[in-house]
Amino acid sequence: MNGKPLTGVRVLDLSRLLPGPFCTLLLSDLGAEVIKIEDLESGDYIRAMAPFVDGQSAYFLALNPGKKSICLNLKAPAGKDIFLRLAATAGVVVESFRPGTVDRLGIGYRAVESVNPRIVYCSISGFGQDGPDRDRAGHDLDFVSRSGLLGLCGRPDGVPAIPPVQIADLSSAMYAAAGILAYLREAERTGKGRHLDVGMLDSALSWMIMPVAEYAAGER
């Protein structure tokens, strides 16, 4: 077999920092063409985070090898138009703004679906696209803590030990990638895409499956 499984699939990546870029890194490794859509001012925030290698963030370099990048002012009609024209040629869009932001910009799932019914549109957020906490901000440690996972780290009689890696960020990225692959297969079969809603708290909570099973069985 020639090429990788996702050769020929274009992914538009609106996300920043870790969860979305790690998701699209997985897709890129599988052969997808990933185009980062960055703003005109600073681009992906992680570009400014130390340590640096030859003037570039080591984190940015680790998360974005092989990806392409363009800068668009999505608040301007011209920027929105360019994005939608790109979306008409894509298989996947990944975004990680606060819920409702892409709709206000006119580049949400419904807008993209109108130009590309097969699009798989993935939204990664802290608490999901609906529910009472959808508009709350948060970081990885918030989600790991609220899931109960943090309380199991460290010694039973001591303070919790902060995990050395971003569990909620990375797990949500992996669930997003898995969902995207499933919905790409569905779009191939039905000709219809989907909107995939991935919450970082949900992702961290799913990793509690064994402790929750123990609790349900009467264990402490």
| Structure token digits, residue 78 | 């011209």
Give CA separation, 10 vs 50, 86, 119, 178, 188, in Å.
30, 9, 10, 16, 14
| Structure token digits, residue 39 | 């703003």
Catalytic annotation present for 169: yes
140, 142, 169, 202: which one is catalytic?
A: 169
Q: What is the rounded CA–CA span in Å between residue 188 and residue 186?
A: 5
Residue 108 in 3-state DSSP? coil
Regarding beta strands 52-53 and 10-13, do their DSSP bridges make them parallel or antiparallel, or are they unpaired?
A: unpaired
| Structure token digits, residue 9 | 């699939």
| Structure token digits, residue 40 | 């005109």
Contact predicate 121/196, CB 8 Å: yes
Q: What is the rounded CA–CA span in Å between residue 168 and residue 181?
A: 20
- Active-site positions read 169
